[in-house]
Chains A and B, each alone.
Chain A
């Protein structure tokens, strides 16, 4: 059979096939371009959100520092400042024709005021960095904090920790601040009866679970931009956790209390507490 006869009808089919393939190739290119654009837009949006989130964290961090400074300033002004002013007034009376009996009283009053000032300075310093934290570590400091809260009889703070270990002081302070902030929030807002804190040291990380049985709250409210002020406490906790390279998760629902989980990698624990 002649090859030319075999060709009968082939060119039309071929033309259709070629055009079909061309359309398919064009569709692939168009899909590729659209997909790439969409993915890039999504990526840019994610980067924008991440940058915004980092900005919020920074803002929360600065705000929490400012609040801490305000609190210290107010403590110094209201207690130490007032006591020192009173002491100054007593001391001014010395030598203005006072008799020996009066001088004795002034001396006693002044000593009393100075002692009270020393006590207040100690208290402020203790609040800034508890001596137990530096000397005996994070677990001991948290136990100390729990003991003080328990003394107030308004709620019970349980701590469960086996084989406590020490780690870098900077991280111990950071974690202590997080627990302090969480318990402050529970005491102030949660109307809770119990706080349960579980501290679990493993080979390479530390896992802390904090729970209270308070009234809880809607998590969305804390992240809602319109209630930014409310969310600052939470963002400040996240910011602290991030600075410790720790993972921080918090869950809460109205009526179901609050639960927070912190997982922090341990580069090198300094030693077991018992061995120090």
Chain B
């Protein structure tokens, strides 16, 4: 299980390679560009986290998670701005990012210690992203704009996000309770690592899909 947990965190490097390619070559559609930024940020955070733990012997890097939660939410919502602009105005989604960031900062300062998991912010983030993905699925079903789902990056992104955040919701809520308290926490973080690997594999597919550039 330990191997899976380690793999779970390092799998982000796979989509990150595709992300770097997309950003350097300036190819891909709107969603792929934002996803590339997101996986790159996630990879940098993951690498920094490991360097801090292994090289600098810092035992608790949870403050990074508090900061990353805000960044992660903002980047994921940004992926959907273009696809949902017919249904949700851009300003509403930006407003959602601002409200969530404010809540998350207040939570980190006044409620949950930055050396603990930010369970409220993570759980709220998971719920909001699940709702966003469900909204996207509903809108796509009504509008019938996606003719080939398997060739659409946003379908793979949405599926990866839905699987990851649905499975992780309870882990986020109980992360402070289970963290280091029981042997079974390995099972839980192992499950988290599995869905994380699935998410990053889906993101890799989303980034690898070739979209014909608009002429």
The answer on a CB contact under 8 Å between A15 and B144 is no
A3 within 8 A of B: yes
Q: How far is the CB of A47 from chain B (nearest CB, A)?
A: 12
A26 within 8 A of B: yes
- Bound-state CA distance A150–B182 (Å) is 100
Which residue of the partner chain, among B140, B144, B169, B178, contacts A11 with CB atoms under 8 Å?
B178
Instruction: For the complex, count residues of A whose C-beta is within 8 A of B.
Output: 26
Instruction: For the complex, count residues of B whose C-beta is within 8 A of A.
Output: 28
The answer on a CB contact under 8 Å between B134 and A28 is yes
User: Which residues does chain A contribute within 8 Å of B159, judged by CB atoms?
Assistant: 29
Q: Please report which residues of chain A, range 1-26, place their CB below 8 angstroms from some CB of chain B when the two chains form the complex.
A: 3-4, 6-7, 10-12, 14-15, 17-19, 21-22, 24-26
B185 within 8 A of A: yes
The answer on a CB contact under 8 Å between B185 and A36 is no
The answer on a CB contact under 8 Å between A14 and B174 is yes
A35 within 8 A of B: yes
- Bound-state CA distance A43–B144 (Å) is 9
The answer on a CB contact under 8 Å between B149 and A36 is yes
User: Which residues does chain A contribute within 8 Å of B106, judged by CB atoms?
Assistant: none
Q: Give the A-B pair count, Cβ closer than 8 A.
A: 72
The answer on a CB contact under 8 Å between A17 and B141 is no
The answer on a CB contact under 8 Å between A11 and B195 is no
The answer on a CB contact under 8 Å between A12 and B184 is yes
A136 within 8 A of B: no
User: Which residues does chain A contribute within 8 Å of B163, judged by CB atoms?
Assistant: 22, 25-26, 29
Which residue of the partner chain, among B140, B167, B177, B182, contacts A18 with CB atoms under 8 Å?
B167
Name B164's closest neighbour in chain A (CB-CB).
A25
Which residue of the partner chain, among A4, A19, A26, contacts B182 with CB atoms under 8 Å?
A4
Q: Please report which residues of chain A, range 25-64, place their CB below 8 angstroms from some CB of chain B when the two chains form the complex.
A: 25-26, 28-29, 32-33, 35-36, 39-40, 43
Q: How far is the CB of A153 from chain B (nearest CB, A)?
A: 59
- Bound-state CA distance A32–B156 (Å) is 12
Q: How far is the CB of A227 from chain B (nearest CB, A)?
A: 35
The answer on a CB contact under 8 Å between A35 and B141 is yes
User: Which residues does chain B contribute within 8 Å of A40, judged by CB atoms?
Assistant: 144, 147
Name B161's closest neighbour in chain A (CB-CB).
A25
Which residue of the partner chain, among B162, B187, B188, contacts A25 with CB atoms under 8 Å?
B162
Other A-B pairs, 16, CB within 8 Å; known A21-B169, A39-B144: A3-B177, A6-B177, A7-B178, A7-B182, A11-B184, A14-B170, A14-B171, A17-B170, A18-B170, A18-B188, A21-B166, A24-B166, A28-B162, A29-B163, A32-B141, A43-B144
Report A's interface with B, CB cutoff 8 A. Answer: 3-4, 6-7, 10-12, 14-15, 17-19, 21-22, 24-26, 28-29, 32-33, 35-36, 39-40, 43
A-B contact pairs, 23 of them (CB 8 A): A7-B182, A10-B178, A11-B178, A11-B184, A12-B184, A14-B170, A14-B171, A14-B178, A17-B170, A19-B167, A19-B191, A21-B167, A21-B169, A22-B166, A24-B166, A25-B162, A29-B159, A32-B140, A35-B141, A36-B141, A36-B146, A36-B149, A39-B141
Report B's interface with A, CB cutoff 8 A. Answer: 134, 137, 140-141, 144, 146-147, 149, 159, 162-163, 166-171, 174, 177-178, 181-182, 184-185, 187-188, 191, 195
